[in-house]
């Protein structure tokens, strides 16, 4: 099966590497301008598509790695063309768009996979497994954090444009909002605060979200675009009535480098670094590909991606209004 990758930024190139690792056939790349896709197309010796229509003509799978505000339109067109679809997180910037995407894929009879990659990180997957096995009993408080620096891009920094990325609560924290829901179940109410609302001129951003789950569990989720590059750190602390599970990327990093560096270049977006034999992105693409080719199960449904953005949107609303936001059940969404 031939894969077309839309979007050639950091996530497009990461997915390309994953496709290559699992022996997938990349037919070509599509970017907003052909110049942007040139390097990747050359590197992989594949096509540099000039528009979506010509890519859709030649591929079986569309892997959408574009900025978030472009997801909906691209997925709708790919579904109409009968393509299998993988879409980067967050699924969409509004529930209406996300629902439209899911409906269109159902109607077209194609898969829509949302790349909530945190579910594929071994530490997160293992913690979920231990919880599901009842190792720490009923969950009481879930603490998750994810922190880095403000995404930088020389031109067109869409991450910092909240109309395109949804800002820190959507772009960064949708990972942990999804994970909290995955381990502790549906969310009843959301309360959030963020620096970019309280101090609009601040050079950093940081947000805290408090979730009340229907199960009675409480989640505390922190997201930072506040640390000096190239910092990227995550942590999990999940306490139940039978014990707790804790992970801290600072404490478990297997390599600490005290080598002098000449430059101090950091990537556009902070990245986790804890070497494992298979990149979580590869695990993810492999699982989606197997589902397409062999109908095998996947650990995350498009509906989960929709539920995650519902929580993120409630957090954005809460940070804006100062009130806790009560979630209404998404009829389509089930755990």
Q: How far is the CB of 153 from another protein (least distance, A)?
A: 21
Q: How far is the CB of 269 from another protein (least distance, A)?
A: 18
3-state secondary structure of 237: strand
Nearest 5°: phi and psi at 126? -70, -40
Q: How far is the CB of 123 from another protein (least distance, A)?
A: 20
Q: How far is the CB of 242 from another protein (least distance, A)?
A: 8
DSSP 319: H
Compare residues 106 and 212 and give the one whose CB is closer to another protein: 212
How far, in Å, CA of 134 to CA of 138, rounded? 8
Provide the 10 A C-beta neighbour count for residue 93.
Answer: 23
Compare residues 191 and 247 and give the one whose CB is closer to another protein: 191
DSSP 300: -
Burial group, residue 264, by CB count within 10 angstroms (0-12, 13-18, 19+): exposed
How far, in Å, CA of 228 to CA of 204, rounded? 10
Q: How far is the CB of 161 from another protein (least distance, A)?
A: 21
Provide the 10 A C-beta neighbour count for residue 285.
Answer: 29
Compare residues 74 and 325 and give the one whose CB is closer to another protein: 325
The distance in angstroms from the start CA to the end CA of the chain is 30
Compare residues 82 and 322 and give the one whose CB is closer to another protein: 322
Compare residues 201 and 265 and give the one whose CB is closer to another protein: 201
Q: How far is the CB of 227 from another protein (least distance, A)?
A: 6
DSSP 45: T
Compare residues 138 and 334 and give the one whose CB is closer to another protein: 138
As given in the structure block, the two tokens for residue 250 are 């600072």
Residues that bind another protein (CB under 8 A): 138-141, 143, 145, 147, 189, 191, 193, 195, 198-199, 202-204, 206, 208, 210, 212, 216-218, 220, 222, 224, 226-228, 239-241, 243-244, 322-324, 326
């Amino acid at each position: 099966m031939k894969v077309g990758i839309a979007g050639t930024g950091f996530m497009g190139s990461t997915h390309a590497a994953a496709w290559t690792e699992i022996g997938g056939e990349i037919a070509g790349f599509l970017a907003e301008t052909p110049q942007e896709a040139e390097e990747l197309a050359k590197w992989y010796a594949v096509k540099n598509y000039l528009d979506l229509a010509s890519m859709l003509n030649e591929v079986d799978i569309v892997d959408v790695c574009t900025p978030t505000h472009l997801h909906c339109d691209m997925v709708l067109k790919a579904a109409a063309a009968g393509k299998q679809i993988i879409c980067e997180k967050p699924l969409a910037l509004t529930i209406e768009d996300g629902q439209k995407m899911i409906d269109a894929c159902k109607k077209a009879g194609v898969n829509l996979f949302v790349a909530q990659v945190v579910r594929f990180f071994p530490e997160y997957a293992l913690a979920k497994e231990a919880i599901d096995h009842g190792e720490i009993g009923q969950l009481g408080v879930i603490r998750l954090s994810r922190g880095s620096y403000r995404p930088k891009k020389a031109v067109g920094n869409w991450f910092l444009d909240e109309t395109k990325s949804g800002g820190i609560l959507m772009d960064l924290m949708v990972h942990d909002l999804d994970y909290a829901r995955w381990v502790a179940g549906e969310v009843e109410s959301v309360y959030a605060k963020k620096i970019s609302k309280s101090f609009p001129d601040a050079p950093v951003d940081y947000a805290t979200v408090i979730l009340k789950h229907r199960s009675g569990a409480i989640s505390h989720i922190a997201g930072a675009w506040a640390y000096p590059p190239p910092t990227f750190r995550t942590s999990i602390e999940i306490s139940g009535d039978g014990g707790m599970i804790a992970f801290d990327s600072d404490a478990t990093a297997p390599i600490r480098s005290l080598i002098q560096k000449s430059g101090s270049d950091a990537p556009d977006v902070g990245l986790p670094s804890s070497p494992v034999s298979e990149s979580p992105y590869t695990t993810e693409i492999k699982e989606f590909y197997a589902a397409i080719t062999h109908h095998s199960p996947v650990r995350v449904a498009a509906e989960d991606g929709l539920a995650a953005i519902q929580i993120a949107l409630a957090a954005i609303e809460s940070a804006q209004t100062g009130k806790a936001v009560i979630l209404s059940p998404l009829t389509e969404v089930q755990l």
